[in-house]
Structure 1
Amino acid sequence: LKLSNCWSLLLLDPGPRVRRMAGLFKLAAVQAETEWFDVDAGIEKAVKYIEEAGCAGQQANLIAFGECWLGGYPLYVWAGTPAFAIQFHAAFIQKASLDPDDKADAARIQRLRDAARDNKINLVMGFNLRKGGSVWIAQLMIDSTGEIRFVRRKLKPTHAERTVYAEGDGSDFVVEDVIGLGRVGGLNCWEHLQPQNKLVMFGLQEEIHVASWPAFVVYNGVAYGLSAEANMAVSKVYALEGSCYVLAATCIATKKYRAALQMVVDQLQEAHAAGLAPPVITLDMVPFDLCLTTGGGSASIYGPDGRTLVQSLDANQEEIVYAPGSKMAILACKATADPVGHYARPDVHTLRWNGRKNAAVESSAEQDARGAADGVENISGTE
């Protein structure tokens, strides 16, 4: 068989049992709008996609969601001044973020865990991670048994994102060995533009990568670097460079987003009238509709040789794209270009990665179990 014919055979789905025996798997990337400022409703919408992609539906092995999909990505930071954006922060923290250690939020995450287990599918979900008064862009991986495999944070928020989000650290580079798939990892948005990030992930022997992206609706026609075309090219190159599959999951934004922000503005104006809040900067006082358009979806899946494995969706369409994958295809591509193996030159250049988890406060004394706080690390060697 010619190589092109071998690839064509992978498009014929033989079913889950044969896929497992042959080292085949099925991948799913979501393109959809979230329920803005409503984590509970977002989870219920996510469960519907999980059910569609899972064992009773498309029988996919992995489903991926976009950046900050639960609760929503704060597009408003690109649409006005910092003073305009900060007005939404309290609502964002309270309604659009999750703390896995919080009892109520753990119950919400359990809903996703149950859905993954019941539908026998692995998932990577983009969400806003909250700890104390800080929030991070994050990804949550749950395996097909319902176990949490990782919660990772974006290493460096991009430009205006830094007015909302904190930074991750070296411990947020994670690749997990997953039965039926291989080694799975993920990055958010412009983490894919930092070559060092990619090399760390390749060094962890990543085979399947989730690239979580927001809706590409910011400064359309002006900032090409923020466009779907530019960033899907980045996703494609990641697949080719790493000899790995890439699931590029994206969000979309409709008029519902503006309506959700207007609801927050209305609440702030009521608070101001009662003397409980400062004057409000409304959506009409900033170039909101000039900065942000609608649509912005561009979900895709790329093979380890860089080829696009799915048909493009309309930018406004809510849908899941599916593609088959093969361990054989990964190995074939790595046979020609393994970026951290036979195709590397560590005698010429190497990368030093600090994988240590950082904390704002460190104590060499044993922490009282009740008094230990988030952000405090015990380095005494005792539990």
Structure 2
Amino acid sequence: MSTMSDKKIKVAAAHAAPIYMDKAASLRKVVSLIGEAANESIELLAFPEAFVPGFPYFAYCYAPNAATVSLYAAQSVVVLEDLDEVQAACAKHNIAVTLGISERMRGGHTLFNSIVTIDADGSILGVHRKVQPTWAERLVWGQGSGYTLRTYKPKSAAYRIGALACWEHAINGARQALIDQGQHIHVGCWPALDILEGFEDVACTQIEALMKTHALTAQVFVLCASSYVDERCLQWMERTLGPQDKVKSGGGWTAIIHPFCSFIAGPHTDSQDELVTGEVDLSQLDLVKVYIDGAGHYKRPEIFRSEVDMTLRWKDELEIVGPVAWEYMKKE
């Protein structure tokens, strides 16, 4: 008898560009894409990294500029204040969503590279904050804590879902933390990287390698969602900060990957919006885990020990690591 539900889940990874540096418009686009996913009977939809209000490419193109980060902060998402329409769309269409955002701490000025997981009833299952911003990102985002390294089980689902952002997948301890919690579906949130100077020929290879590594070692289905750079992003940077030649338009790598590393859908790399869709058969995990079970017989805990400090670090973490019922939030 199967130990996992044999339910087949239709999932999608959004390959899309945000309305750059416009929080309200980008959130409206999120709602629109949720509606499109509903028309295709999608049950789980993943969005790219920092989709709202867009990835801070300016940190890689220009000298450090606190005024620009201040503009970015003004367009960043306060989780308990700005997501009501997205939550309503999830509840209306019965779709669970993982959404990459630049998060602004409520009542504060600190920013995080965050991923919000919203259940199909509109409740927030939790927020993960990238534990280590990469390179120039450190000029923009603070460090998340181990407290947000969690997986979540949607109320009516048979799976546990977890998510990491971009090169955070290179932190093996972060990946193992999700493996140890019995993850079944993983979301990798990415920006376009192959449009960055010096990464044109290697970025997509790196993304594919990291996503397939987690699929195989964690024995999970992977939804890899990536944005691309459009002219609005480039025009905003040139208009605000001047000409630059470090980032060009296009890029991105979006796919759905089986635990044995075959492609269920994608990869999609075009500079146009696309819901990359596929079917996830959870019952296949039973056979996969006969070969490799990273939380069980293939872990060898008597030899290898992994410890994650999940102590509360930031004052608001109890607010954002849920579940947080949508009805409760509407009353606040």
Normalising to structure 2: TM-score of the pair? 0.89
Structure 1 residue 175, shift from structure 2 partner: 0.4
Partner residue in 2 for 1:166: 142
Which stretch of structure 1 is more off in the superposition, 210-219 or 198-207? Answer: 210-219
Residue 110 (1) aligns with residue 84 (2): yes
Q: CA RMSD in A?
A: 2.1
**Is residue 234–residue 249 contact of structure 2 (8 Å, CA) maintained in 1?**
no
- Cα deviation, 1:44-93, whole Å, max 9, x if unaligned, reads 11111101112xx111110000000011110111112224xx33112111
CA distance in 1: counterparts of 2:73 and 2:96, whole angstroms:
27
Q: How does 1:75-114 map to 2 (within 5 A)?
A: 75-83=57-65, 86-95=66-75, 97-101=76-80, 106=81, 108-114=82-88
Partner residue in 2 for 1:321: 276
Partner residue in 1 for 2:329: none
**Is residue 16–residue 227 contact of structure 2 (8 Å, CA) maintained in 1?**
yes
Structure 1 residue 262, shift from structure 2 partner: 3.6
Partner residue in 2 for 1:31: 15
Residue 189 (1) aligns with residue 166 (2): yes
Partner residue in 2 for 1:212: 189
CA distance in 1: counterparts of 2:218 and 2:6, whole angstroms:
22
Structure 1 residue 100, shift from structure 2 partner: 2.4
Structure 1 residue 294, shift from structure 2 partner: 1.2
CA distance in 2: counterparts of 1:24 and 1:262, whole angstroms:
46
Structure 1 residue 224, shift from structure 2 partner: 6.4
Partner residue in 1 for 2:328: none
CA distance in 1: counterparts of 2:70 and 2:285, whole angstroms:
45
CA distance in 2: counterparts of 1:356 and 1:311, whole angstroms:
38
Instruction: Give the AA of the match of 1:93.
Output: A
**Is residue 39–residue 71 contact of structure 1 (8 Å, CA) maintained in 2?**
yes
Unmatched runs of 5 consecutive residues or more in structure 2: 320-332
- Cα deviation, 1:309-351, whole Å, max 9, x if unaligned, reads 1133243121010110111112211111001201121111111
Q: Which has the higher contact order (CA 8 A, sep 6+)?
A: 2
CA distance in 2: counterparts of 1:303 and 1:180, whole angstroms:
19
Partner residue in 2 for 1:302: 257
CA distance in 2: counterparts of 1:209 and 1:34, whole angstroms:
22
Structure 1 residue 210, shift from structure 2 partner: 0.6
User: Equivalent residue of 2:83, what SS?
Assistant: helix
CA distance in 1: counterparts of 2:317 and 2:311, whole angstroms:
14
Q: How does 1:220-299 map to 2 (within 5 A)?
A: 220=197, 222-223=198-199, 227-263=203-239, 265=240, 282-284=241-243, 288-289=244-245, 291-299=246-254
- Cα deviation, 1:69-122, whole Å, max 9, x if unaligned, reads 011110111112224xx3311211112x01124xxxx2x311001100111110
User: Equivalent residue of 2:297, what SS?
Assistant: coil
Q: How many residues align?
A: 313
Q: CA 1:376–1:34 in 2, change beyond 3 Å: closer, same or farther?
A: closer
Partner residue in 2 for 1:127: 101
Higher Cα Rg, which structure: 1
Normalising to structure 1: TM-score of the pair? 0.78
Structure 1 residue 181, shift from structure 2 partner: 4.4
CA distance in 2: counterparts of 1:224 and 1:37, whole angstroms:
24
CA distance in 1: counterparts of 2:158 and 2:131, whole angstroms:
25
Q: CA 1:337–1:376 in 2, change beyond 3 Å: closer, same or farther?
A: closer
User: Equivalent residue of 2:311, what SS?
Assistant: coil
